[in-house]
Amino acid sequence: MHRWNPSLRRAVLALSALLMGCGSAGYAVDSATSACQQNPQYCALVAGEETVVPTAIRGGAEVASVAATLRVLAPETRSSIEQALVECVEWAHGEVNRQRFGGQSPSREQCREELPGADPCGKKVTRAMQLGTEKHALARQCVEQKLNARIPGRFSLDQRYRYDPRTGQRQLISREEARTLLQQGCGEELKGTIVPDVVIHTGNPLEVLAVYDFKFPCPISNPPDWREYANGSLQGDTYRQILGVGPDLVAPIWKIIRWTITR
């Protein structure tokens, strides 16, 4: 059980009185959380992400305390999120293998097979690349459904970030902007940007709490690993530098693989 300081307790009592008033005015309100769903800009989560306190009745110390709490993912919440991610990547892996190989896993030779044609930028496409794309798409749909039920409004899927190393600032790039830039070529305008599969945040995608990336090794016996960029840096290290959080991999069979410093 969490211990609240007297100021925080008075804040909650004040909110309760406010909610009772709202109820008498004809509003269907049953908790502090319900009220904050209507006006989230006035509220913040405290005490393990379950109790809400209106920002308007907090002093500076409480604001700082709540801000710090929002930047820490409660262990039970993290566990629930990661369980959902593992379930989704394993389901997507099994479903695509069922459709493509009758439920069997592709062999090393099948994974290396080059498919006819090329991608929009003229690069050859292997069977492993095709399977990875299909499994990512299914996993994304599954994760969106599961996380919407667990932490609505506090996660982003395939959110692109741009980082300015001169200022240390990062910014969001919308799908529309990315699509426009891609139409100008084969991604040169997006060089230096990153697109993690799953970002868990406070409600603001720039305030990152956890980062996850899906990997679908082909064959499945290959250990999941971060991609190496042209400049020699590893994908996971770049995510850590830009987002400020050590990212984790999620892969079928392998489940969650924690990020570690590689250099």
Domain map of the chain by residue range? 6-70, 75-159+196-257
pLDDT at 155: 97
Q: Give the C-alpha separation, 15 to 3, whole Å.
A: 18
Could you tell me where the beta strands, DSSP code E, fall in the chain? 43-46, 51-54, 114-118, 124-126, 155-157, 160-164, 169-173, 193-194, 198-201, 208-214, 248-251, 255-257
Show the tokens assigned to 220. Answer: 């499945």
Residue type (1 letter), 248: D
Residue type (1 letter), 7: S
Q: Give the C-alpha separation, 254 to 90, whole Å.
A: 10
DSSP-H helix ranges across 102-247: 108-112, 127-150, 175-183, 235-243
pLDDT at 185: 64
Q: Give the C-alpha separation, 249 to 100, whole Å.
A: 24
Give every CB contact of residue 51 below 8 A, 6+ residues apart in sequence: 12, 32, 45
- One digit per residue, pLDDT tens: the chain, 263 residues? 444 444 444 443 443 433 333 333 332 223 333 333 444 433 434 333 333 334 444 444 444 444 444 567 999 999 999 999 999 999 999 999 999 999 999 999 999 999 998 776 778 999 999 999 999 999 999 999 999 999 999 999 999 999 888 888 899 998 888 887 777 666 666 777 899 999 999 999 999 999 999 999 999 999 999 998 878 888 999 999 999 999 999 999 999 999 886 55
pLDDT at 188: 65
pLDDT at 99: 96
pLDDT at 263: 53
Q: Give the C-alpha separation, 189 to 139, whole Å.
A: 28
pLDDT at 70: 55
| H or E stretch at 15 | helix 6-24
Three-class DSSP category at 205: coil
